[in-house]
Amino acid sequence: MNTFDIVILGGGMVGLALARALADSPLSLAVVEPSIPKPLANERDFSLRVSAISPASAQFLDELGVWSALMEQRVQPYKKMHVWEKDSFAKIDFDCQQAMLSNLGHIIENEIIRDGLWQQVCGQANVTIIDERCQQLERGQREAWLQFERFGMVSAQLVVGADGAHSWLRQQCDVPVTFWDYQHHALVASIHTELPHQECARQVFSADGPLAFLPLSDPHQCSIVWSLPQARAQALQQMSLEQFNHELMVAFDQKLGISTRVSELQAFPLRMRYARQFAGDRFVLVGDAAHTIHPLAGQGVNLGFADVQALAMTIKTLAAKGDDLGKHRLLRAWERERKADAMVMIAAMEFFKQLFAGAHPAKKLLRGMGMSISDRLSPLKLQWMRRALGLANHS
């Protein structure tokens, strides 16, 4: 029997961040990840999945000792955001100088973040990597047991599910999920633009859905996330490259001149998930295992990093007192905090989604007036910015 204090299911960005956050603790950890990442090639195309890392998440990654390594890779800070509605006077602009920051965030490929965290975690003396799937889970009063085909039986005080939206641990623990389908698919691709992006993230809202152009480290390349009804997304996937480029430029009001897709085009369905429990006896759910939200504000991974940052602090406090790490009653304060934060973000995303739904002239007029007024009210706009950047609770 292999015994650990904590077993983390999932070696993605969020699971690895938790392991790294516990590097200075006396706890023994196992990270279960069947898909060991391959070293990144020096010469490679931009990957399609990117994240908008907020200043709060960047600070957390810096505390984990990984930020400096990430900054040596392909990372693009963005200093401005321009948001507008198509065929309307509604618009709002954000500038890092308004928030007295050097930037509003960084656009980073997911595989770069994971690679940086993986290299750090693999060097930790208190971490064991288990490179196979867990076959069975049993939970007892004092510990949990996990069965592996090759590694054998493992026991732990606490099992953490960082295993994604279709979490195996969440299913094993019979945690109900509040769920709804946004009836949209997100199209993602890399785009070459005629005009430089000038370190500005741009998003346009239309009747079909939001389209974001996220600046990459090449001044003439952006990553797009285009939220569309399924039928429209499938139609765009079936178009020729020339047709797609035309549709993209029309949707984007040709803000950056001629735009050309330079990668494959992928689509994935958009669904909201909210676990009824984020914790129970012997288990915790973090990141997408606990919640998934609409990508229109790019807050998914930042919410996951906030989960593990708070969880690591809770675990260290319990360990210092000699308390049982897997007792639900000792994890409830963390659970209440994280459920509330996730619900606020889910509600905010739904509000903005519904706000920009529909093309009725009266509704468009109200949106235009509201955004124009908000753009001029600096205190209100600053409050929105600080919330979106994860700085609402920071001085």
CATH number of the domain to which 143 belongs = 3.50.50.60
Q: What is the pLDDT of residue 298?
A: 67
Q: What is the pLDDT of residue 394?
A: 45
What pTM does this model have? 0.91
- Does residue 199 belong to any structural domain of this protein? no
- Does residue 242 belong to any structural domain of this protein? no
- Does residue 368 belong to any structural domain of this protein? no
Sign of the torsion formed by the C-alpha atoms of 219, 297, 162 and 228:
negative
- For residues 361 and 290, give the distance between their C-alpha atoms in angstroms, rounded to a whole number: 38
Q: What is the pLDDT of residue 395?
A: 37
| Number of domains forming the structure of the chain | 1
Identify the DSSP state of 45: P
- Does residue 154 belong to any structural domain of this protein? yes
- For residues 42 and 74, give the distance between their C-alpha atoms in angstroms, rounded to a whole number: 11
DSSP SS3 for 292: strand
Contact of 326 with 143, CB cutoff 8 Å: yes
Torsion of CA 334, 131, 268, 288, to 10 degrees: 0
- Does residue 315 belong to any structural domain of this protein? yes
DSSP SS3 for 221: strand
DSSP SS3 for 282: coil
Token pair 């009836």 in the structure block, residue: 183
- Does residue 107 belong to any structural domain of this protein? no
Contact of 23 with 123, CB cutoff 8 Å: no
- Does residue 139 belong to any structural domain of this protein? yes
- Does residue 87 belong to any structural domain of this protein? no
pLDDT in tens, the chain (395 residues): 899 999 999 999 999 999 999 999 999 999 999 999 888 988 889 999 999 999 999 999 999 999 999 999 999 999 999 988 887 777 888 888 877 789 999 999 999 999 999 999 999 999 999 999 999 999 999 999 999 999 999 999 999 999 999 999 999 999 999 988 888 999 999 999 999 999 999 999 888 888 999 999 999 999 999 999 999 999 999 999 999 999 999 999 999 999 999 999 999 999 999 999 999 999 999 999 999 987 766 678 999 999 999 999 999 999 999 999 999 999 999 999 999 999 988 887 776 666 666 655 655 555 555 555 555 555 555 565 555 555 555 43
Burial class (CB in 10 A: 0-12, 13-18, 19+), 42: exposed
Q: What is the pLDDT of residue 362?
A: 55
Q: What is the pLDDT of residue 385?
A: 56
Q: What is the pLDDT of residue 47?
A: 92
Which residues span the domain enclosing 36?
Answer: 2-43+124-179+271-355
